[in-house]
């Protein structure tokens, strides 16, 4: 590893990982706002222009699919695969962490792995239900009365996750340093030692002496 | 696949692989949850409606709820002016006429409680409607022999829909002036809307402006977009056995 020695900071996320995160965040926001307008009568009536709002909603979803594909194709697939691998693995420390006890964590703590998995599941369910709703408007073959329930249910779960996610990343004092990592790529090593010890130790093991 | 450079120094300390690797629970959870989610396409609406029924109404309409959604096709929504409003009834009848809002209110009113079903999959249960039966509206006139249908035109252009006479005279069809005890609000089609509970909501024209007695039930706005004329709940538009 030939990085310039910066003892204070440790690189946590590559450009590709950060790109995926911010694409997801910005599109989610757009979908949430337009979705809320389509869903809540007060907003539907106040904003009107249902067809325009629907179009923005659909094009946002399409943009998400395309943007993610672009990052996967031209980006650092190795880094992205590493994310999947890490999210896949839960050890005894993760188990303890999820029951509320403190235990040393890796680059992603157990809660973050759960968030990753759920976000992946919800993205899939949104695409499926959204596609069915869109196609079903024109073609009876795609009309299922469970589509809107799934779309609504996924929204509710997503909002739940989002509130927690935003709280921890923007407000909660001990964790909000993580925002730097997803923004600029690196985090303070001393902070990382406290919150993601196994990762820091593994990184040190990898560094040439 | 190794990412580590060649080492000339003694092996660095490593944790035991087993403890470090962990169990591949993540992919199982992903697949299981995704499968459960997709399966909800079959049972989701039933579950959703059941939960919504259990939640007391009056809570903010956050899902799951029996909440309304307001779909419109043009902006802004029509505004009701009691001073200038009239419902025009014309076409294949001997004496075309116009009714003011007060005229409508003076007609005998009936009440009913019905469920509302949108073709997109959401429903609102136990809506209290109060309004005028079509029979009552047409009592004083004679329809032409070739009159077979009624076409309902909205002030929200170009929204329209049509029913056969037989459908329009069903016992739970009405021109509603009140919803849940209060005069229709603007989002819900003030001052008067068609209510036909046995069909999907798109048949229930809001902001009713005129009714034309006609030879046949021409395709209205959503019917021209591919939805069924005979929009029976559960057996049209691809639901149930319908194609």
What is the CB-side half-sphere exposure of residue A48 using CA atoms within 13 A?
9
* pLDDT for res B17: 47
- Residue A30 pLDDT level (bands cut at 50, 70, 90): very high
Task: Please determine, for residue A116, whether its predicted confidence score (pLDDT) is greater than 80.
Answer: yes
Pick from A74-78, A186-190, A192-196, B17-21: least confident: B17-21
The CA distance from A13 to the nearest CA of chain B, in Å, is: 16
A208: which chain B residues are within 8 Å (Cβ-Cβ)? 5
Q: Which of A145, A203, A209 to mutate to probe the B interface, most B CBs <10 Å?
A: A145
Query: Rounded CA gap, B113 and B50, in Å?
Result: 18
- Please name the residue that has the structure tokens 């005979």: B230
B24: which chain A residues are within 8 Å (Cβ-Cβ)? 88-89
Q: Residue B226: which region, alpha, beta or left (left: phi > 0; alpha: psi -120 to 50)?
A: left
Q: Is residue B48 part of a domain?
A: no
User: How many beta-carbon pairs under 8 angstroms link A with B?
Assistant: 147
Query: Rounded CA gap, A90 and B68, in Å?
Result: 43
Q: Is residue B3 part of a domain?
A: no
Q: Is residue B50 part of a domain?
A: no
- Give me the interface pTM, i.e. the ipTM: 0.90
Number of domains in chain B: 1
Query: Rounded CA gap, A188 and A194, in Å?
Result: 10
Asked if the Cβ–Cβ distance from A138 to B121 is below 8 Å, we say: no
Asked if the Cβ–Cβ distance from A89 to B25 is below 8 Å, we say: yes
* pLDDT for res B2: 60
Q: Residue B38: which region, alpha, beta or left (left: phi > 0; alpha: psi -120 to 50)?
A: alpha
- Residue B3 pLDDT level (bands cut at 50, 70, 90): low
Q: Is residue B71 part of a domain?
A: no
Query: Rounded CA gap, B191 and B132, in Å?
Result: 12
**Could you tell me the CATH number of the domain that includes residue B86?**
3.90.420.10
**Tokens read off for A8:** 């204070």
Q: Is residue B99 part of a domain?
A: yes
Arithmetic mean of pLDDT, B114-138: 95
- Please name the residue that has the structure tokens 């420390």: A93
Q: Is residue B121 part of a domain?
A: yes
Task: Please determine, for residue B90, whether its predicted confidence score (pLDDT) is greater than 60.
Answer: yes
Give me the domain span that covers residue B194.
77-224
Arithmetic mean of pLDDT, B190-216: 98
Residue B191: is the preceding peptide bond cis (ω within 30°)? yes
Q: Is residue B143 part of a domain?
A: yes
Q: Which residue of B has its CA nearest to A124?
A: B34
Residue A193: count of CB within 10 angstroms of its CB: 15
- Residue B19 pLDDT level (bands cut at 50, 70, 90): very low
Q: In this complex, which of A136, A198, A206 lies closest to B4 when CB atoms are compared?
A: A206
The CA distance from B94 to the nearest CA of chain A, in Å, is: 39
A123: which chain B residues are within 8 Å (Cβ-Cβ)? none
Q: Is A171 exposed, middle or buried (0-12, 13-18, 19+ CB in 10 A)?
A: exposed
Q: Average pLDDT over chain B, rounded to whole?
A: 90
Asked if the Cβ–Cβ distance from A146 to B243 is below 8 Å, we say: no
Please tell me if residue B26 touches chain A, with a CB cutoff of 8 Å: yes
A202: which chain B residues are within 8 Å (Cβ-Cβ)? 20
Q: What is the pLDDT of residues A51-105, one digit of tens each?
A: 999 999 999 999 999 999 999 999 999 999 999 999 999 999 999 999 999 999 9
Q: Is residue B241 part of a domain?
A: no
Could you tell me whether strands B193-195 and B208-214 are parallel, antiparallel, or unpaired per DSSP bridges?
unpaired
Q: Is A201 exposed, middle or buried (0-12, 13-18, 19+ CB in 10 A)?
A: middle
* pLDDT for res B18: 45
């Amino acid at each position: 590893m030939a990085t310039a020695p910066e003892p204070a900071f440790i690189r946590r996320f590559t450009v590709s990982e950060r790109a995926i995160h911010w694409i997801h965040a910005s599109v989610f926001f757009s979908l949430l706002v337009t979705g809320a307008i389509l869903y809540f009568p007060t907003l539907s009536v106040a904003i009107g222009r249902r067809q325009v709002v629907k179009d923005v909603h659909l094009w946002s979803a399409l943009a998400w699919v395309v943007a993610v594909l672009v990052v996967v194709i031209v980006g650092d697939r190795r880094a992205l695969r590493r994310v999947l691998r890490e999210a896949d693995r839960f050890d005894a420390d993760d188990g303890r962490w999820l029951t509320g006890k403190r235990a040393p964590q890796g680059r992603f703590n157990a809660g973050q792995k759960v968030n990753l998995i759920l976000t992946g599941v919800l993205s899939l369910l949104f695409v499926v239900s959204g596609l069915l709703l869109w196609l079903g408007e024109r073609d009876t073959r795609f009309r299922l009365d469970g589509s809107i329930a799934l779309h609504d249910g996924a929204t509710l779960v997503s909002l739940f996750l989002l509130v927690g996610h935003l709280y921890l990343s923007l407000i909660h004092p001990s964790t909000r340093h993580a925002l730097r990592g997803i923004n600029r790529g690196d985090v303070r090593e001393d902070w990382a030692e406290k919150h993601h010890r196994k990762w820091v130790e593994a990184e040190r093991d990898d560094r040439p002496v | 696949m190794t990412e580590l450079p060649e080492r000339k120094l003694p092996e660095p300390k490593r944790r035991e692989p087993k403890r470090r690797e962990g169990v591949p629970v993540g992919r199982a959870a992903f697949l299981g949850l995704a499968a459960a989610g997709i399966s909800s396409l079959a049972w989701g609406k039933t579950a959703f409606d059941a939960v919504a029924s259990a939640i007391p109404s009056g809570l903010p309409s956050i899902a799951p709820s029996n909440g309304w959604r307001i779909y419109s096709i043009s902006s802004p929504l029509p505004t009701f002016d009691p001073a200038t409003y009239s419902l025009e009834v014309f076409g294949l009848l001997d004496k075309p006429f116009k009714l003011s809002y007060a005229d409508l209110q003076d007609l005998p009113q009936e009440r009913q409680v019905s469920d509302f079903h949108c073709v997109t999959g959401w429903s609102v249960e136990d809506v209290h409607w109060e309004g005028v039966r079509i029979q009552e509206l047409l009592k004083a006139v004679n329809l032409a022999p070739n009159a077979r249908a009624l076409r309902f035109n909205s002030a929200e252009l170009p929204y329209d829909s049509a029913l056969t006479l037989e459908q329009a005279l069903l016992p739970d069809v009405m021109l509603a002036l009140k919803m849940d005890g209060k005069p229709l609000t603007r989002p819900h089609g003030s001052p008067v809307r068609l209510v036909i509970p046995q069909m999907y909501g798109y048949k229930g024209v809001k902001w009713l402006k005129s009714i034309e007695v006609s030879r046949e039930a021409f395709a209205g706005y959503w019917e021209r977009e591919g939805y069924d004329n005979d929009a029976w709940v559960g057996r049209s538009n691809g639901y149930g056995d319908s194609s």
